[in-house]
Amino acid sequence: MTGSSGAEAVVVRVDRDRCIGSGMCALSAPESLALDADGRARPVDRYADGGAELTDGLAEAVEYCPVEALALHSAHGGYRIAPAE
């Protein structure tokens, strides 16, 4: 689940104050993001802490979030990968 060798493991962070619960991320990347009972997004499983493979669906979720509430970070270095600062 951590992807091919050399691919960097990522975690995704949700700014829950910004999140408007569009649900687009949970539809694009159901393996990485889900909607909580309060309608806001939350990272699931290894995407919350340990880190896992950056999938196309997750990259799309981050790019398409209507309020830019999602950020990808390196699981190890901690630095932000997307969106660009």
Partner 1 sequence: MSTENSATGAGTGTAPLPPMHCLRHLEPGPPRLAALPTGTPVWLVSRHADVRQVLTDPRLGRAPLYAPDAPPLMVTPNILDDPQSMLNIDGTEHQRLRRTVQRAFTPRAIARWKPWVASVVESLIDELIDRGSPADIVAAYSRPLPVAVISRLMGLDNLDSKRLAHWSDHALSTTAFSAEAIGTAMTEFAAFGAEVIAERRADPGEDLVSSLLAAAAEDGSITEGQLVALVIGLVVAGHETTMTSLGNALVYLLQDGRDAWQRLASDEASAAAATEQILRAVPLGDVTEHMPGLLRRTVEDVEIGGVVIPAGSVVAADTGAANQDPEVFTGDLRTELFSPLAAPMLTFGAGPHHCLGAWLARMELELALHRLARRLPALRMADPVEDVDWRRGLLTRSPDSLRVIW
CA distance linking residue 13 with residue 20, whole number of Å:
15
Asked if residue 35 binds partner 1 (CB under 8 A), the reply is: yes
**Candidate residues 8, 9, 24, 44; the one interacting with partner 1 per rule CB under 8 A:** 24
- Determine the residue type at 78: G
Looking at the Cβ atoms of 45 and 63, the one nearer to partner 1 is 63
20: contact with partner 1 by CB under 8 A: yes
21 binds partner 1 (CB under 8 A): yes
Size of the site for partner 1 (CB under 8 A): 19
Q: Which of 4, 5, 6, 17 binds partner 1 (CB under 8 A)?
A: 17
Instruction: Please report, as ranges, the residues that interact with partner 1 according to CB under 8 A.
Output: 17, 20-24, 27-28, 35, 38-40, 63-68, 83
